């Protein structure tokens, strides 16, 4: 079983979307995984995902309504095998808390699978309209497709 964490700012838009999308894809593929998401800003701790994130997820058959925002913790390095960040700010924050090279090796940009070596960030839709949430959902879904394919391939090799 693989343990994957997604990290964004408030844990109410991008990271819960990525978590929900990958959860659906892995369930369909039969890949066992423990998935979670978190953020760095405490002002949304305990809150459900943004209504716009829930709406776009629901349109695609992904239910993220039960999620509650939480903060990233150093303990997450012990729990998770892979940690996907949404942008360079999150990357800096996670890497600053990394205790060693093993922790650092777990951290990747979410879009690294789509744009290798580019360190490309996922747009924060919070500041935009519902169309931005749609674009973010589709981009995250495409990245999650590739993560799922990799995990399916690794599972077959075992």
The catalytic residues are 8, 14, 124
Q: 135's torsion region: left (phi>0), alpha (psi -120 to 50) or beta?
A: alpha
* Helical (H) or strand (E) element with 108: strand 107-109
DSSP type of residue 60: T
84: which strand partners?
6, 108
5: which strand partners?
36, 83
Rounded Cα gap, residues 21 and 144, in angstroms: 7
């Amino acid at each position: 079983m693989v343990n994957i964490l997604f990290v964004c700012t408030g844990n109410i838009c991008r990271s819960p979307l990525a978590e929900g999308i990958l959860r659906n894809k892995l369930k369909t593929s039969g890949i066992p995984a423990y998935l979670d998401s978190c953020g760095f800003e405490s002002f949304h701790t305990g809150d459900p995902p943004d209504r716009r994130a829930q709406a776009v997820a629901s349109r695609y058959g992904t239910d993220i309504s039960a999620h509650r925002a939480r903060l990233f913790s150093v303990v997450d390095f012990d729990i998770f095998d892979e940690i996907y960040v949404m942008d360079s700010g999150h990357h800096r924050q996670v890497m600053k808390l990394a205790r060693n090279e093993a922790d650092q090796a777990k951290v990747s940009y979410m879009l690294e699978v789509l744009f290798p070596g580019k360190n490309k960030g996922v747009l924060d839709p919070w500041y935009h309209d519902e169309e931005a949430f749609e674009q973010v959902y589709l981009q995250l879904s495409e990245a999650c497709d590739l993560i799922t394919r990799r995990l399916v391939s690794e599972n077959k090799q075992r």
